[in-house]
Amino acid sequence: MSSLDTLIQDLVIANRILAKEDVVDAYGHVSVRHPDNPKHFFISRSLAPELIERDDIVELDLAGEPVREERRSLYLERFIHAGVYELRPDVMAVVHAHAEDILPFGIAKATELRPVIHSGSFIGSSVPVWDIADKFGDTNVLVTNMAQARDLGKCLSQNNVALMRGHGFASAGRSLIEVVRMSVYLPRNARALMRARQLGGEIKYLSQGEIDARNRGYSAYSPETWRAWEYWATKAGCGHMLSKPDEKHEHGKK
Amino acid sequence: MSSLDTLIQDLVIANRILAKEDVVDAYGHVSVRHPDNPKHFFISRSLAPELIERDDIVELDLAGEPVREERRSLYLERFIHAGVYELRPDVMAVVHAHAEDILPFGIAKATELRPVIHSGSFIGSSVPVWDIADKFGDTNVLVTNMAQARDLGKCLSQNNVALMRGHGFASAGRSLIEVVRMSVYLPRNARALMRARQLGGEIKYLSQGEIDARNRGYSAYSPETWRAWEYWATKAGCGHMLSKPDEKHEHGKK
Amino acid sequence: MSSLDTLIQDLVIANRILAKEDVVDAYGHVSVRHPDNPKHFFISRSLAPELIERDDIVELDLAGEPVREERRSLYLERFIHAGVYELRPDVMAVVHAHAEDILPFGIAKATELRPVIHSGSFIGSSVPVWDIADKFGDTNVLVTNMAQARDLGKCLSQNNVALMRGHGFASAGRSLIEVVRMSVYLPRNARALMRARQLGGEIKYLSQGEIDARNRGYSAYSPETWRAWEYWATKAGCGHMLSKPDEKHEHGKK
Amino acid sequence: MSSLDTLIQDLVIANRILAKEDVVDAYGHVSVRHPDNPKHFFISRSLAPELIERDDIVELDLAGEPVREERRSLYLERFIHAGVYELRPDVMAVVHAHAEDILPFGIAKATELRPVIHSGSFIGSSVPVWDIADKFGDTNVLVTNMAQARDLGKCLSQNNVALMRGHGFASAGRSLIEVVRMSVYLPRNARALMRARQLGGEIKYLSQGEIDARNRGYSAYSPETWRAWEYWATKAGCGHMLSKPDEKHEHGKK
């Protein structure tokens, strides 16, 4: 397979992992930027992530429009992805989802979502909450155009995750593997914090130094990172689709 | 298949989805109004929703009685459906269930169930709580006759969902697809609200304008609505029973 | 099959249901009194309920000892069953288990477990908490002899369920079907009450009149009761072992 | 099989059980000390526990280094195991994991994790919380060298479990069967305590005398202990790998 084929295969895997790990259900989506053309990205047509196959992947531009004629329906909220890729050249992959246990942090004002467990460190030290109503008033709460997407992107700013009030979250990573991992541990970190608050007393968050140290040590294809990707893919029934980076390289040579 | 056959097939799918998504267990039921005869509706004989096949579906009238001779047992609470269809000509499908996470809102008096997440908007801005004891005193808490069903219907009024104290809920929609979706997201909205309250501070509910905007944008066969129905049916093991509206139309012509 | 064979088959089914419904795990057990000899009862040898087959069932007397030579290990806590059968001639089936969500009510003193949902009514209006330490001081917290079992039985008295502090519960019913159903809905009622308390405000419990009305309407082989038994057995993979009461009768005649 | 082969087989089973019971996910590991050489222990190479086979098991020394040439990646945190084996000659097996429901007790300062349910007694009367930051300042929160491992071991001291702030736990047992069982019931005990606190009022913990009585009665191959190991192994899909102690003995003779 060419490296582009492998990337699209990885995008299929990412969709299935997010479904299996309860980050997405019928709704929610993940995209990856075109490695050779930063103004394009790949995402599925409108379909539940668990059901996605290679042929469902489409190529969109930074206006959220398909670059080839496309008669199939597209995700209404594909603009979220376009908006983040436009504003953040460093971002290579984006997830938008409604994972249940992050929702309360976008609804209740008293508790800020911050990392309390080591696997939650990648959400970053600050997770802003974006409220579509602040700028756009009464909407259907969905991000359905570039103006809304850019406003969300502005709120996300240089952070890795933004909560969307009454709706879900958008997360941005340097690779598919990173953004999937971040999105899987985001609700787990949220649950740990919720329950710690119920136990009462002072909460011990990860320190900025700890978050920085973890970030410095992160590598998309380290044995530790790969271990989770391999495991989650296997659980999601697509272990046979996995291709390790070195294998990708060899395949790319053919 | 005729369009009536397709509708009954969809009713089987609806039962299986509600079971798979933990809205019903051994108990709870879903019905659909006869499209050509508004005084009749379809519902299963007394059977756990996950086990229902086409032949289990029976046709009842608005008194909750079978329109053909029927020797098999019927649901004790089929009157709930009859009562809602009688009072609400706009309603085409009804669910009654005991989904666990809505129960606390019918038991504790301090917190009203209202939409806090976008997918919960379809429950409507107000969810009344009906207490069978208010009018009928000490009963077995089940709705077993038309007088009780009409009292519940009166409480439901023009809303989409009514909670039933110590028992469950009744939801009413313009189509099977709508009422199933509403019933799936109802407990999720309930959990988000419960947990937001635990986090503390002011709760940000969906505004009336947001609820209205979402309702205006709703269509039973939009790609977004279909996406969930297709996904849930596939998860519930009946993807092969799916028939898209246009296919239905074509089949109907034959 | 003879009716005794059918009863033992039903005991196998009961074990599998309780495992599938998360009432028991590796531990916990269910028994049924011998229909023709009230001084004997049937229970499995020491084995996790999900793995039990017909040949694992043994016959014990009211001292908790096997009535035939038995070289296989028996449950340490089989005395719980003997104690309840001895003290309560009306009881035909007993469950002892550690279902997770009832545990807090035996540990925290502030909230009494009482029925708040209609399916929880069968636990009865009062659920006493038995603390083995009150009479026996520092033990391994298990009921390992008849003296302890009789003390638990005394606490259970005429109720249907007793909680055991830091340990679990014992439930007693008029039939296997009844005691299984009660044990499945017991943790669900516990969760509904816990969450209602978190929501705050006054709690609306089932009234004594409602509990009585439901109890009067209960029948072990009504279509409603059978519906759950059939569904749970099917989910637990032993739908093929089911025999309806009338079939039992016919089989019994052969 | 030789008894060493059987032990390694049991280590594979232990990994699969911990994965199935949600104690580990992609991360977390279990090890067993070499029965004939107390300065060596067995653990998997870097791989998700659910995917581990016999050939993935490696032999390490008490510095956490492989005793044979090994080109495959090893767990970053294998030092945790080395540290505990070094300091605690009585310990024969170690688990390190991030089971979700113990995390809040390492984050919130108000509530100490202690046994409240009989199956939780084996965690011991005191569960210290180790904070890597106390001695090592801002790290990536992982135990990646022997100095950190020894500090953790010092905190664990003669206890059975230590929580690791913002990270997980380390547990130590006299056998694989014991440490797996302790690790499975640890989060369950944590949940029971969390929920008891939510119910409010005085909490009834196990007394020291009860903990001692249970510990005195514990035996790694009693029918009660075996029952859970057999059940969990079967659930985890490796019932066919089980070998009972007496069978091990017979096999060993061949």
Question: Looking at residue B94, what is its pLDDT?
Answer: 98
Chain A residue with Cα closest to D111: A199
**D246 pLDDT tier (thresholds 50, 70, 90):** low
Chain B CB contacts of C198 under 8 Å are 104, 194, 197-198
Percent of chain C past pLDDT 90, that is, above it, reads 91
- Single out the residue of A138, A125, A168, A141 nearest to residue A26, CA to CA: A168
SS3 label, residue B40 = strand
Chain D CB contacts of A209 under 8 Å are 137-138
Question: Looking at residue A219, what is its pLDDT?
Answer: 87
Interface contact A206-D27, CB threshold 8 A: no
- Let me know if B65 is a catalytic residue: no
Question: Looking at residue C254, what is its pLDDT?
Answer: 32
Residue C190, both tokens: 């516990």
d(Cα A124, Cα C68) in Å, to the nearest integer? 66
- Residue pair C113/C190 in contact (Cβ under 8 Å)? The answer is yes
Task: Write down the residue that tokens 């066969």 correspond to.
Answer: B221
Q: Rounded to the nearest 5°, which phi and psi values hold at B21?
A: -90, 15
Interface contact A48-B227, CB threshold 8 A: yes
Question: Looking at residue A246, what is its pLDDT?
Answer: 62
Centre a 10 Å sphere on the Cβ of residue C32 and count the other Cβ atoms it contains: 23
Neighbours of chain C (3+ CB pairs under 8 A): B, D
pLDDT tens column, B49-77: 999 999 999 999 999 999 999 999 999 99
Question: Looking at residue A168, what is its pLDDT?
Answer: 98
Question: How far does the CA of residue A50 sit from the closest CA of chain B (Å)?
Answer: 8
**C235 pLDDT tier (thresholds 50, 70, 90):** very high
pLDDT tens column, D213-227: 999 988 888 999 999
Mutate to test the interface with B, among A24, A77, A101, A107 (most CBs of B within 10 A): A107
Mutate to test the interface with A, among D135, D138, D145, D163 (most CBs of A within 10 A): D138
Mutate to test the interface with D, among A119, A208, A215, A246 (most CBs of D within 10 A): A119
Chain A to chain B Cβ contacts (< 8 Å) = 113
pLDDT tens column, D82-137: 999 999 999 999 999 999 999 999 999 888 999 999 999 999 999 999 999 999 99
pTM: 0.95
d(Cα C164, Cα C106) in Å, to the nearest integer? 6
The conformation of residue D29, written as its DSSP 8-state character, comes to E
pLDDT tens column, C141-184: 999 999 999 999 999 999 999 999 999 999 999 999 999 999 99
Q: What element of type H or E holds D237?
A: none
Residue A48, both tokens: 């539940």
Interface contact D111-A201, CB threshold 8 A: yes
Q: Which chain B residues touch A if contact means CB-CB below 8 Å?
A: 116-119, 121, 188, 191-193, 195-210, 212-214, 216-217, 223-224, 227-228, 230-232, 234-235
Instruction: Please provide the size of chain D in residues.
Output: 254
pLDDT tens column, A21-76: 999 999 999 999 999 999 999 999 999 999 999 999 999 999 999 999 999 999 99
**D2 pLDDT tier (thresholds 50, 70, 90):** confident
Question: How far does the CA of residue D182 sit from the closest CA of chain C (Å)?
Answer: 14
The residue ranking higher by pLDDT, C249 or D157, is D157
Residue B197, both tokens: 């309250």
d(Cα A49, Cα A26) in Å, to the nearest integer? 7
d(Cα D21, Cα D188) in Å, to the nearest integer? 11
Is the pLDDT at C89 greater than 60, yes or no? Answer: yes
Question: Looking at residue A249, what is its pLDDT?
Answer: 42
Is the pLDDT at A200 greater than 80, yes or no? Answer: yes
- Residue pair A99/B192 in contact (Cβ under 8 Å)? The answer is no
**D253 pLDDT tier (thresholds 50, 70, 90):** very low
Distances (CA, A) of A115 to A118, A212, B228: 7, 12, 32
Range B97-108 average pLDDT: 97
Average pLDDT, chain A: 94
Average pLDDT, chain D: 94
Annotated catalytic residue within B21, B69, B70, B77: B77
Is the pLDDT at A127 greater than 50, yes or no? Answer: yes
d(Cα D45, Cα D75) in Å, to the nearest integer? 6
CA atoms within 13 A on the CB side of A161: 34
Is the pLDDT at B252 greater than 70, yes or no? Answer: no
Residue C65, both tokens: 């000892």
Question: Looking at residue A209, what is its pLDDT?
Answer: 98
d(Cα A41, Cα D7) in Å, to the nearest integer? 50
Question: Looking at residue B114, what is its pLDDT?
Answer: 97
**C211 pLDDT tier (thresholds 50, 70, 90):** very high
pLDDT tens column, C97-123: 999 999 999 999 888 999 999 999 999
Bridge partner list, B43: B58
Question: How far does the CA of residue A76 sit from the closest CA of chain D (Å)?
Answer: 33
Centre a 10 Å sphere on the Cβ of residue D101 and count the other Cβ atoms it contains: 19
Annotated catalytic residue within A77, A224, A247, A250: A77
Single-letter amino acid, residue C93:
A
